[in-house]
Structure 1
Amino acid sequence: KHMASTQLVDDIIEVIADVLEMEIDEIELDSRIVADLGADSLDIVDMSFSLGKQLSIKMPQKTVMMHAEDILGDANDMLDNDAVTELGAELLRSGPNRYSEEDVYPGKTLAEIFADTKVCHWVNLCTAIKNSGLSGDDLIQQQVKAVLETEAA
């Protein structure tokens, strides 16, 4: 399921362990960064920065939802209160984190999705950015546009 090289996976887990001051063997691919490993939002920022540096990639500054909102003008079609709609779920599943239908489904809140984001989703993101040769934001923007064009068609 993961197209990442083992070296890349090792590097990513090493960075996460370093940021969270944990042992490497305490971190699994399906560990949830917030819910299982106890990361807070500052840790996430730190992780993103460190991964960008370690892997020589430009991590995204904006989320999939922010990019979609920039394109659409508002988040009404993607969010119902804080819960994702069918389109919101589709956007997240089509994004570089490659969320599955079990991870993201209509009615799940962004806070729940954030808390449930796993190490493998970060691996997917970093791998996608590295393979694309684009910045994280350019890659996400491309993927969001593709989904919105399909929806509009």
Structure 2
Amino acid sequence: MKKYVSAVCEELSSILFVEENTIHENSSLINDLGADSLDVIDLSFNLGKKFKITMPTKSVFAHAYEVLSEEVLNRLLAEDTLTQEGKGLLVYSCYDYTSEQLNTIHTLGDVFGETNVHNWASLCKATYESNGKNADEIILKEIEKYCSEMLIK
């Protein structure tokens, strides 16, 4: 995992013109480091190139909106607010959100603002170690598995 964290820090340092030693594993790209959406696109492109992987074209919840029924979506989200089951999907995902992050994540906007170096490193690791799957395929499979297990409960 360390090599992925280092790679994310290195790329962010280059994109944001900040010293690499000021970027930490729990630094959120938007809220802590001041990145904007174009910086995130650059990061995704650069990491994809560096690891020879195909990064996601959509967020976890953008995929969820496309593939889940309204009934299931309503268990994950109450309008723009994540439910406990919605937060569970973030923990279960290849982004590997932590319980500490979930304390500050309440809405979909918060997800974007609080996504950190660790989350990006986890995504890179999962995609790199997936035997050729792209990140969108991994995310869709995770949504399918998580929601099918959620519905059984």
- Verify same fold: TM over 0.5: yes
1:139 maps to: 138
Counterpart residue type for residue 40 of structure 2: I
1:102 Cα offset (Å): 2.2
2:53 corresponds in structure 1 to: 57
Classify the secondary structure of the residue corresponding to 2:35. coil
Is residue 4–residue 122 contact of structure 2 (8 Å, CA) maintained in 1?
A: no
Answer yes or no: is 1:28 the counterpart of 2:24: yes
Match of 2:64 in 1: 68
Q: What TM-score do the two structures reach when normalised by structure 2?
A: 0.89
Q: CA RMSD in A?
A: 1.8
* Correspondence for 1:103: 101
Count, aligned residues:
149
For structure 1, the residue ranges without an aligned partner over 5 or more in a row are none
Looking at structure 2, the residues matched to 80 and 115 of structure 1 have their Cα atoms a distance apart, in angstroms, of 19
Aligned position for 1:85? 83
Query: What corresponds to 1:122 in structure 2?
Result: 120
SS in 2 for 1:29: coil
Structure 2 residues without counterparts, runs of 5 or longer = none
Change (3 A) 1:87 1:106: farther
Taking a change above 3 Å as real, the CA distance of residues 105 and 30 of structure 1, as seen in their structure-2 partners, is closer
